[in-house]
Amino acid sequence: MHELSITEQIADIAIRHGEKNAAEKITDLYLVIGELSTVIDDSVQFYWDLITEDTICAGATLHFQRIPANFLCQECGKEYQMVDGELAPCPFCQSTKMEILQGKEFHLDSINII
């Protein structure tokens, strides 16, 4: 049921911005989702079609831009990426002290309207 409440929040934001811009219809939504931010999959599109049936968002397509998790090693100062969604120590020096540079994003970037 996680996806359902997230889908509702996305719809609320999109409709608010659509109405502000006098949209007749919202055709596309561009979402930015960091690898570390939340579990979200294609079921969002399924919920989307149910929830937005009678709104200006009906039939809109959801586009997901996935942002990989990027870390900065605090020991050797090198940057590295998460591989296969699994957390791992720095591949260069094996340190576990890292700063998360990106991967926590979760926002609606833009919408296309008519």
Partner 1 sequence: MTKKISVVEKIHSANDQLALENKQQLDQVDLFSLNIMASPGAGKTSLIEKTLPLLKSDYKIAAIDGDVATSIDADRAAEAGATAVQINTGGQCHIDAHMLRNALMELDLDEFDLLLVENVGNLICPASFKLGTDKNVLIASIPEGDDKPYKYPAMYQDVDALIINKIDLLPYVKFNMEYFQKGVQMLNPDLITFLVSCTTGEGIEEWVNWVVEHIKEKKAA
Least spacing, CB of residue 105 vs partner 1, in Å: 9
Near partner 1 by CB under 8 A, which window of 2-10, 48-56, 57-65?
2-10
Q: Which is nearer to partner 1, 37 or 55 (CB)?
A: 37
User: Residue type at 78?
Assistant: K
DSSP helix/strand/coil, 27 = strand
**81 CB contacts (<8 Å, ≥6 apart)?**
68, 69, 70, 71
Annotate each residue in 55-94 with x if it binds partner 1 (CB under 8 A) or - if it does not, as one string: -------------------------------xx-x-----
- Nearest 5°: phi and psi at 54? -105, 30
CA distance 80 to 98: 10
Q: Does 21 bind partner 1 (CB under 8 A)?
A: yes
Q: Of these, 42, 70, 83, 112, which contacts partner 1 (CB under 8 A)? A: 112
Closest to 45 measured CA to CA, from 34, 59, 65: 59
Q: Does 107 bind partner 1 (CB under 8 A)?
A: yes
The single-letter DSSP state of residue 87 is -
Q: Of these, 1, 50, 54, 84, which contacts partner 1 (CB under 8 A)? A: 1
